A and B are shown apart, each in its own frame.
Chain A
Amino acid sequence: MKRADRISSLVIIGISAFFMVEAKTFSPLSGLFPRVAIFLLGGLSLLLFILTFVRRDSGETFDSASFRHIPSLISLLLMIVWGILIPVLGFLVTSLIFFPLITLYLDRDAPGKKKLSRIAIVEVLAITFYLFFTQVLYVPFPEGLLL
């Protein structure tokens, strides 16, 4: 974790510096608490950075035991695209597209019949939740080009 600690502490120090520069425009009392938080964050991150040179390394760069990186990153990407497209296509349409898409991607090695039954299940789930929230709880989900 030594390298991960070094990278994360440098990133956090960078964030602290950025927030500090921005804090200069605040009025005295509005800027007081942000400065306290920035000093705490920056100071503690600096301590973590220094400790990476002092402590012994545990070996791993990141905590990655039995972790499949590619499926998880592709799924994360699909989820982000799902979220971004909601205002464009609408909540229902994006859910009907991306929910089965992720299931299909994760089930890519499954037999065809199983895939079909799972797609049917997730589509029914998406529609049920959509109807429950819009018709019972009156949550106005975003509508898009189609619905």
Chain B
Amino acid sequence: MWTRSLQPARDAAGLDTVLQLTAIILLLRPFEVWWVAPFVLAAACLSLVVVGVRRSPITWLLLSALVAARIVAVWPLADNHIYLLAYWCLAIGLALAAPAPAATLATSSRWLVGAAFAMAVLWKAVLSPDYVDGRFFRVTLLTDERFADASMVFGGLTPAQMAENRKFLEPLPEGAELLTPPPFVEPPRLRAFAAGATWGGLALEAFVALLCLLPSGTRIAIGRHASLLAFCATTYALAPVAGFGWLIATMGLALCGPDQRKLRGAYVAIFVLILLYSEFPWTGVLADLTGR
């Protein structure tokens, strides 16, 4: 077991793109913990340029341990995709030490995506008190600066209305009430946008979870890829969590067979698209163009 962890996997050529994209994820969003970041960056760089490092299980097992150490160091502040990144690096390390690395990683990927999305659906549909009644997106579209441009472009709000709404949403002490509360403007378009985000997001996540957790068949596999690609292409156009999107796209790529070239290309394209979403303020440009 241990000697196998130190040797590059022989049958891992088909996984190279997956491993390279995972290394790029680690480089794109470096960790801020000083005693973790340099080692993660060094391992990611080496794994990009040195095949032997990239295909060695120990590289990814160490990376998984470093990511986990970062989670512990900043407990409880780490975002969820950092946890998923730790599991993913562990899955890669274990798969590279297995007799059939690509198949082992495909199975891990499917279960990891399915479980993560199932938990997300559980939180939204059952455990959260303010998601299914629409409150979460109604509030977030107005108070989260990262959604402000989209709220104005798609919700039909003016900057002045946005400012007034934010004043309205400032909290009062429990039981207090203003004599003349600031106006609250919620155009039908904004309500529809919030409802679309609420139910569209939940439905898409439920599809991904279901199709990843169901036993594989040809139709299920097609639906799985379609839902994953649709989720990435739509969600990360607005959601400011590119790190999660890159990880999902990379895990989707790991589900592809070596002969599925177009599908593999689609996942790589989605990875780049999420990169563009995160760096190009397209909703801001649209807001400027539409005079919002």
- Interaction A to B: no
A-side residues, CB < 8 A to B, are none
